[in-house]
Amino acid sequence: MAGSTQISLELKDLRKKFKIRQALDGVTGNFEAATLHGLIGPDGAGKTTLLRILIDLLHPDSGEVRYFLNRQPVALEEIRPHFAYMPQQQSLYPDLSVIEHLAFFRELYRISKETYLKRSAELLHLARLEEFKARPAGQLSGGMYKKLGLLCALLQSPEVVLLDEPTTGVDPISRRELWEMLYRLVGEGILVILSTAYMDEAERCGRVHILEKGRILAQGEPRKVLEQEGVKSFEELFLRNGQSGEKK
């Protein structure tokens, strides 16, 4: 059951270089359970690299990620089944319907029929996709497509959800609905980590980690970060540091 255990992460001096580009340059921070953490920064800030390191799809050149289960240190291998990762470029099957995708992931995750029926019904209702469950993924709007990708990731009832720019290219209504879903997950005790280049989304997060060129500019509760940095908005913070970011 989601939220029955709590997973948190601790990052220490993470560094990662691709040829001549320093993707991460000494990233340190904490990601607490039951919190919506935002990785905020423009393209090239290191957001995707950091997410992939957290799920062990990439290995840092130096530094470490420590994982905790109910505040006790554990190896990632012990808790990996509790992680869900949604990349920015999703690979859904255009000819499969919404419900066929969920059935496919049920087989992939080996979920019992009883659990699947209950969980899929809850998720379809949460995403407002009930009346579209027979529609092929290739015929969904950008927002509904993103929501379907999130449902597939959530079907296994994860404790940690990593989302790479889930609201990019999404219409305003679907964008609002996605945020509502994320708040619901946090309310269930789930750790949510998402990346975004939209400055206006920073204040919707419980904690923000502001990235620029692989470095942490600031992190903490959004309003406190703005107060500490002496700025009125996150866009102003990036402008002050020579980056405009992206605003929607």
Q: Which residues pair with 68 in a beta bridge?
A: 8, 73
- The C-alpha atoms of residue 169 and residue 89 are separated, in whole angstroms, by 11
Q: For residue 217, which phi and psi values (nearest 5 degrees)?
A: -80, -40
DSSP structural state of residue 23: E
Residue 2 lies in a domain: no
Over residues 105-135, the pLDDT tens digits come to 999 999 999 999 999 999 999 999 999 999 9
Burial class (CB in 10 A: 0-12, 13-18, 19+), 89: exposed
* CATH number assigned to the domain comprising residue 114: 3.40.50.300
| Residue 165 included in any domain | yes
Percent of the chain with pLDDT over 90: 86
Question: How far is the C-alpha of 81 from the C-alpha of 70, rounded, in Å?
Answer: 16
Q: Is residue 1 part of a domain?
A: no
Comparing C-alpha atoms, which of 230, 226, 162, 224 is closest to residue 199? Answer: 226
Please say whether the beta carbons of 64 and 27 come within 8 A: no
What CA–CA distance (Å, rounded) separates 190 from 171? 25
Confidence at residue 3, expressed as pLDDT on a 0 to 100 scale: 46
247 assigned to some structural domain? no
Q: The tokens of 51 are what?
A: 């997410």
* pTM of the model as a whole: 0.91
Q: Is position 171 within any domain?
A: yes
Q: Is 6 left (phi over 0), alpha (psi -120 to 50) or beta?
A: beta
**Sheet-wide strand order for 191-196:** 83-86, 160-164, 191-196, 36-40, 207-212, 215-220
Pairing of strands 21-31, 7-18: antiparallel
Residue 193 lies inside a defined structural domain of this protein: yes
Please give the pLDDT value at position 242: 66
Cα–Cα separations (whole angstroms), residue 75 to 56, 65, 161: 11, 10, 18
Assign 4 a pLDDT band (cuts: 50, 70, 90).
Answer: low
> Is the distance from CB of 24 to CB of 45 less than 8 angstroms?
no
Band of residue 1 on the pLDDT scale cut at 50, 70, 90: very low
User: Considering the domain boundaries, does residue 38 fall inside one?
Assistant: yes
Residue 173 structural domain: 7-240
- Calpha distance 230→33 (Å, rounded): 28
Confidence of residue 99 (pLDDT cuts 50, 70, 90): very high
pLDDT in tens, 191-246: 999 999 999 999 999 999 999 999 999 999 999 999 999 999 999 998 887 654 44
Examine residue 206 and state whether it is found in any structural domain, yes or no.
Answer: yes
Q: Residue 159: what residue type? A: E
Q: Which two tokens stand for residue 75?
A: 């190896």
Domain count, the chain: 1
Tell me what the mean pLDDT of segment 167-191 comes to: 92
Whose structure tokens read 């540091």?
241
